[in-house]
């Protein structure tokens, strides 16, 4: 059978399987993300029926999925709302670093992986998954909730922190000089500053350039500009996700509303592929030896992330239930954590066990996060009712 024929059959089976998993998830009232991840795990390397020959497509599709997730998230808010949120939440961002980077660094030092391993694992446990969180907020209909701007401001702070962290980590892993590392960080910060200034001052111009009364033209211009900005941002050592998010906030008014309606089906399709690819790239046989430590890290950092969200929402005057939703929404880890672990292991300067631990940890957190976000509200209401009865 021809290679193209095999690839088409496999892709068809993957998409149809995703549809069945999504229907099953909604039947039980949960986000489909955990099922997408487990499905990918079953059909990846070391899984039940490994798929071959579709790696190039699935990898690119997953990258597009992250870009679309963050683009649509950015379309929900304006540049002024973003900067206001950052000003209000920078203290929460600093607390986030302290509470959630420390557990990973401590575990790496306990396992004898040295300072380089500690630096890598600190990033793995610190950064939340913008892709998963954006998908969960959309699935649960919480994009308009009062606490959502707080969640977004914490996520943006994390992504901006990554713009500093990733060049530093890359320089350390490559043995680059201190001056070289500072140069990489400077380029990242300059790129982010320029994009923010353009978004604030010329947002209407950008909206006019992208907009079109014809849906086909509008879609081509919108998707093309998103991929261009994401690619340029990635080349400048800034996350492609950050670039897509900033483009989203630069587009405003009716253009943003039309873009959201037009892109939602594409986002759902490619986002599903992103979560499947994460599972496909995880070998189930590497998980059992490090599962105990991964569970310990998952428990600790679930609590610390919940505490971060609770504190950030409380500072904005949000009630107890909104604080709980904020903390639960931030729990999931994903794409950034895997990238960090991959960079560290590929350098040859840390133990290969770091990749297994990071994979097991992220898989746990990618499943725990959506479940926590889904059930934190009914659980919280249950305890509030019990407290009211007791009083």
CATH label of the domain that carries residue 340: 1.20.1530.20
pLDDT band at 349 (very low <50, low <70, confident <90, very high): confident
Which residue is it, tokens 């409380």?
Answer: 314
Residue 133 pLDDT level (bands cut at 50, 70, 90):
confident
Map tokens 């910060």 to a residue: 189
Residue 340 has pLDDT above 80, yes or no: yes
pLDDT reported for residue 134 = 81
Distance CA 167, CA 164 (A): 6
In the predicted model, is pLDDT for residue 351 greater than 70?
A: yes
Whether 265 maps to a domain, the answer reads: yes
Q: Is residue 216 part of a domain?
A: yes
Q: How far is CA 25 from CA 129, 215, 249, 374, in A?
A: 20, 32, 31, 12
3-state secondary structure of 81: helix
> In b/e form, how buried is each residue of 61-100, taking b as 16+ CB within 10 angstroms?
bbbbbbbbbbbbbbbbbbbeebbebbeebeebbebbbebb
pTM (2 d.p.): 0.73
Q: How many CA atoms lie within 13 A of 298 on its CB side?
A: 23
Is the separation of the CB atoms in 384 and 336 below 8 Å?
Answer: no
- Give the chain's radius of gyration (CA, Å): 21
Banded model confidence at residue 185, pLDDT cuts 50, 70, 90: low
Confidence of residue 25 (pLDDT cuts 50, 70, 90): confident
Higher confidence at residue 56 or residue 17? 17
**Which phi-psi region, left, alpha or beta, contains residue 176 (left: φ > 0; alpha: ψ -120 to 50)?**
beta
d(CA 264, CA 241): 17
* Structural domain span for residue 241: 3-380
In a domain, 388, yes or no: no
| Between residues 79 and 100, the one the model is more confident about | 100
* SS3 state at 31: coil
Q: How many domains does the chain have?
A: 1
- Structure tokens given for 250: 């630069």
Domain membership flag for residue 159? yes
Contact assessment for residue 337 and residue 124, using Cβ atoms and an 8 Å cutoff: yes
Q: What is the mean pLDDT of residues 99-120?
A: 92
Compute the mean pLDDT over every residue in the chain, rounded to the nearest whole number. 81
Q: Which two tokens stand for residue 129?
A: 């998954």
CB 247 within 8 A of CB 74: yes
Predicted local distance difference test score (pLDDT) of residue 4: 77
In a domain, 190, yes or no: yes
Assess if residue 204 is contained within a domain: yes
pLDDT band of 178, cuts 50, 70, 90: low
Task: Using alpha carbons, list the distances in angstroms from residue 375 to 64, 225, 238.
Answer: 29, 37, 34
Helices (H), the chain: 3-27, 33-42, 55-75, 79-110, 114-126, 130-139, 148-174, 178-210, 215-235, 240-250, 253-280, 291-315, 320-329, 335-346, 353-390
Residue 385 lies in a domain: no
Question: Measured between alpha carbons, how far is residue 318 from residues 150, 156, 226, 251, 307 in Å?
Answer: 10, 19, 33, 28, 14
- Could you give the percent of the chain with pLDDT greater than 90? 16
pLDDT digits (tens, 9 = 90+) for 46-90: 556 666 667 777 778 888 888 888 788 778 766 666 666 667 778
Q: Is residue 352 in some structural domain? A: yes
Is the CB of residue 332 less than 8 Å from the CB of residue 31?
no
Tokens of residue 287, six digits: 């998980």
pLDDT tens for residues 272-305?
Answer: 887 787 777 777 777 888 899 999 999 999 999 9
The lowest-confidence range among 118-122, 251-255, 310-314, 318-322 is: 251-255
Among the listed residues 176, 173, 175, 177, the one whose alpha carbon sits nearest the alpha carbon of residue 345: 173
């Amino acid at each position: 059978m021809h290679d193209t024929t095999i690839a088409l059959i496999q892709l068809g089976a993957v998409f149809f399987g995703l549809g069945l998993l999504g229907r099953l998830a909604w039947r039980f009232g949960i986000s489909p993300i955990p099922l997408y991840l487990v499905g990918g795990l079953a059909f990846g390397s070391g899984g039940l029926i490994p798929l071959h020959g579709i790696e190039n497509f699935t990898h690119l599709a997953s990258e597009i999925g992250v870009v679309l997730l963050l683009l649509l998230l950015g379309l929900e808010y304006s540049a002024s709302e973003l900067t206001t949120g950052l000003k209000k939440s920078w203290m929460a961002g600093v607390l986030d670093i302290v509470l959630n980077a420390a557990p990973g660094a401590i575990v790496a030092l306990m396992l004898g992986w040295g300072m380089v391993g500690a630096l890598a694992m600190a990033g793995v446990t610190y950064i939340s998954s913008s892709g998963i969180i954006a998908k969960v907020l959309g699935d649960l209909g919480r994009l308009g909730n009062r606490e959502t701007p707080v969640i977004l401001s914490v996520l943006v702070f994390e992504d901006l922190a990554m713009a500093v962290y990733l060049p530093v980590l890359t320089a350390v892993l490559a043995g680059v000089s201190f001056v070289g590392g500072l140069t990489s960080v400077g380029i990242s910060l300059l790129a982010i500053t320029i994009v923010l200034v353009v978004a604030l001052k010329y947002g209407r111009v950008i909206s006019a350039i992208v907009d079109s009364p014809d849906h086909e033209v509008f879609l081509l211009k919108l998707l093309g500009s998103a991929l261009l900005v994401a690619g340029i941002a990635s080349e400048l050592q800034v996350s492609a996700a950050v670039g897509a998010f900033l483009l989203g906030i630069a587009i405003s008014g009716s253009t943003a509303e039309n873009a959201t309606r037009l892109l939602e089906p594409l986002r759902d399709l490619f986002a599903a592929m992103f979560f499947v690819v994460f599972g496909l790239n995880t070998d189930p046989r590497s998980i059992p030896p490090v599962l105990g430590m991964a569970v310990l890290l998952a428990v600790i950092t679930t609590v610390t992330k919940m505490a971060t969200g609770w504190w950030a929402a409380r500072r904005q005057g949000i009630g107890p239930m909104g604080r709980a939703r904020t903390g639960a929404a931030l729990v999931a880890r994903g794409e950034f954590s895997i990238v960090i672990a991959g960079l560290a292991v590929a350098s040859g300067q840390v133990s290969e066990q770091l990749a297994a631990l990071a994979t097991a940890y992220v898989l746990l957190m990618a499943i725990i996060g959506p479940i926590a976000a889904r059930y934190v509200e009914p659980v919280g209401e249950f305890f509030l009712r019990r407290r009211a009865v007791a009083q």
